Amino acid sequence: MEVSAEIAVMIQQEEDLVRKKQKGLEARKRWDEKVRRAVDLLNACAIVDEAPASTVVQKRWVPAAVATVACVPAARIKAIDLPGRAIASMFHRLLDEPDSEKVQESVVVDLRAVLARVPVPREDLFYLFRVLAGHFETLFSDRVSCIWPGWLADEAQKVPAEFASDPGINEIRTRLAHNPIGMAKALRAYVELCRDRRDAIPRSDLKKMGLPPTAVDRAPRSPADVTDNPRGFTKVFLLRYVRSTWRPRNTT
């Protein structure tokens, strides 16, 4: 007995849905494996021992650099504010050219000079790798979204063309480079505020713009930043808050 055309279509749609779901699960698994490798290698860079500079760079930093740029572009990793500027700058050089022997050798020389002045243990010296590992842990698919987050590198930074060169947009991108979802939220709110023609924004309208009213309430401000009629905040204050202070949660 043949099934009707309508039932056949429904069966085909169900099979397509199952295949799509399976592909999504496989993609999430591959992504999480990449992120896990990056996190593990970054934590290995924070190991406190008496390893020489050559071992630290070639056996720990280089693999970590390769693994991290496989998840996130080097430029965005370098935009993260890290403690230990000297060590951070050395690792940044490896992010650009992790396979370059010349770069590796120069980093070894510089690190050897630093280690000669720093007694073991080196917790403070290598603490930046713990911080960086923490940033990468936010990229696991169950913390970012329910689908494979392949859009993270580009989609979160998109803004309308007329805002492409806005200094506030660039500041948000730099400040929230470690938090793609938070960056997208801040960029959307910033664009909404820029397009709003009012000088004062009612508190009741903040949520429509993607801004959490309670977080805005707690933000440092002067009496001039608050308005009574309507009850809310000046547009200038809100733009400054979104651009320089607000740290949206890394959740969808």
Mean pLDDT rounded to a whole number for the chain: 83
Distance, C-alpha 196 to centroid of its chain: 28
pLDDT of res. 93:
94
pLDDT of res. 67:
93
pLDDT of res. 202:
93
Q: Which pTM does this prediction carry?
A: 0.53
- Mean local confidence (pLDDT), 52-81: 90
Query: Above 70 in pLDDT, residue 107?
Result: yes
- Mean local confidence (pLDDT), 101-129: 88
Q: How many CB atoms lie within 10 A of CB 50?
A: 9
- Mean local confidence (pLDDT), 206-232: 89
Query: Above 70 in pLDDT, residue 58?
Result: yes
Query: Above 70 in pLDDT, residue 156?
Result: no
- Mean local confidence (pLDDT), 10-17: 76
Range with lowest mean pLDDT among 72-76, 125-129, 199-203: 72-76
pLDDT of res. 233:
95
- Is 150 or 78 the better-scoring residue by pLDDT? 78
Distance in angstroms (rounded) separating the CA atoms of residues 76 and 178? 7
pLDDT of res. 73:
83
Residue from 34, 234, 107 nearest 242 by CA: 234
Range with lowest mean pLDDT among 22-26, 55-59, 73-77, 199-203: 22-26
Q: How many CB atoms lie within 10 A of CB 9?
A: 11
Distance in angstroms (rounded) separating the CA atoms of residues 71 and 252? 19
pLDDT of res. 103:
94
